[in-house]
Every structure is written in C-alpha cells, then in structure tokens.
Amino acid sequence: MKDIVIFGTGPIAELAALYFREDAGRRVAGFTVDSAYATMPDFAGLPLVPFEEVEGRFPPAGYDLFVALAYTKLNKLRRARVDEGKARGYGIAHYVSSRATRFSTFEAAENQFILEDNTIQPFARVGRNVTLWSGNHIGHHSTIAEDVFIASHVVVSGGVTIGARSFIGVNVTIRDHVTIGADCVIGAGALVLQDIPDGSVLSPGGTEISKVPSHRLKRI
C-alpha cells in the first residue's frame, strides 16, 4: 500500500492519522492544506506542505490522499478537495475501523471515514466521502448517498434513504423507509418519522437552563 498524505490540520486530521497508523497499519507521511492555511512547517510531528505544492514533496505515484475535513458548507469543501486530488492523480484512501461491524455486502468507497462501533447491516449502501462517527446503527437496505456526515449514536432504520451532502446530528433517530432529501441538516436529538424534502432543516429545541441554581436543589 502507498503511504498517505492527509489534507487538513484540525482535530479530524489528527484523529485520521492515528486511526490509519494504529488500526489500519498504514504510514502517514505528512499533511497538506491550502497555502493560506499552511502557516507552519509541520503538523503533529510530520511535514505540512501547501496543497498547491504537494506533488513536489509527495508525488501521486507514491502516495494516496485522504481528505480529513468536517461538514463545512454541507460537506462540499471536503468533496471539492477529494475531486481536486483525484484530478491531480492521487488515489483516494478510505478508513473503515476494524471495530466496525459490517457484512460481505458492504463496499468501502473513496474517502469514507467510518469509526469504531458502527453497525452497518446487510444490504446497506454507503457512498463515497461519507463520515460515520462512532456508535451509529445503519439499518438493512438503507442508502446513504455521497458526501454525507453522520455524527454519533444515530439510528438509521431499515430502508432509509439519506440524500447527498446532508448532515445528521448526534442521537438522531430515523424511522424505517423514510427518505431524507439532499442538503438537509437534521439537528441533534431529532426524531424523523416522515419524508424530508431537499434543503430542509430540523432543529429540535434545546433543553432550557433552569432558573433555580444547583446549590438550591434539595433532592440531589
């Protein structure tokens, strides 16, 4: 396998380097970001090279690229850097945790980042450039389109479809056979019981802070 260059210098990039190294057994050779953000010579103890110059230090013939970005601009920035890397000749790496449960019908795809304790049931399809943070349930015969970010402890029931570029927040529950359109944002803790059209935002109300301070509570 080729060594990997990671695009990014944030927490996700640092995590990706550790997961590739300690779980996937792949060597991370360095990091890259757009030149405007390459303000230091190294990151996490490895060389940091402007993306505009990355082929000179890490040529595509010898290195794969992994884009470790979050859901900025509904995942469009991450996808743009994946596409640019491919256009410049890089193979695009993916990471699927050895502690994720998946079956023979699962097919890994470019720039997937699938962390520990995900359960991906049979006949579920997960597109390229999808992030599944830890602890999710992806139900049988469900489809997650490209460029989606799913946070932790999300329940995607059987036969669900999640459209491209959507973001699904922590502890969301999606009923079986529901379709969520493209470019949707589903906020933390939402219960989705019906189809959601493209571009929708579900934002459950947060818990209000009590006006009674903790030192006045008598039963705790």
Domain range list for the chain: 3-93, 94-199
- Arch. (CATH architecture) of 3-93: 3-Layer(aba) Sandwich (3.40)
Closest CA to 142 of 117, 161, 163: 161
Question: Residue 85 and residue 80: Cα distance in Å, rounded?
Answer: 9
**Helix residue ranges, H only, the chain:** 11-22, 54-57, 76-87
Question: Residue 62 and residue 7: Cα distance in Å, rounded?
Answer: 16
pLDDT value, residue 220: 63
**Block means of pLDDT (10 residues each) for the chain, length 220 residues?**
97 98 98 96 97 97 98 96 98 98 96 98 98 98 98 98 98 98 96 97 86 78
- Arch. (CATH architecture) of 94-199: 3 Solenoid (2.160)
- At residue 30, φ and ψ (nearest 5 deg) are 175, -175
Closest CA to 125 of 72, 164, 169, 73: 164
Question: Residue 95 and residue 114: Cα distance in Å, rounded?
Answer: 6
Phi/psi region, residue 60 (left: phi>0; alpha: psi -120 to 50; beta: rest), is: alpha
What tokens appear for 84 in the block? 């640019």
CA dihedral 206, 72, 17, 55 (to 10 degrees): 180
Place of tokens 């059987």: 158
Is-contact 10 70, C-beta < 8 A?
yes
Question: Residue 70 and residue 195: Cα distance in Å, rounded?
Answer: 25
3-93 against 94-199: fold identical: no
pLDDT value, residue 219: 67
Question: Residue 19 and residue 115: Cα distance in Å, rounded?
Answer: 9
Question: Residue 106 and residue 155: Cα distance in Å, rounded?
Answer: 18
Q: Rounded to two decimals, what is the model's pTM?
A: 0.94
pLDDT value, residue 196: 97
Place of tokens 């792949």: 26
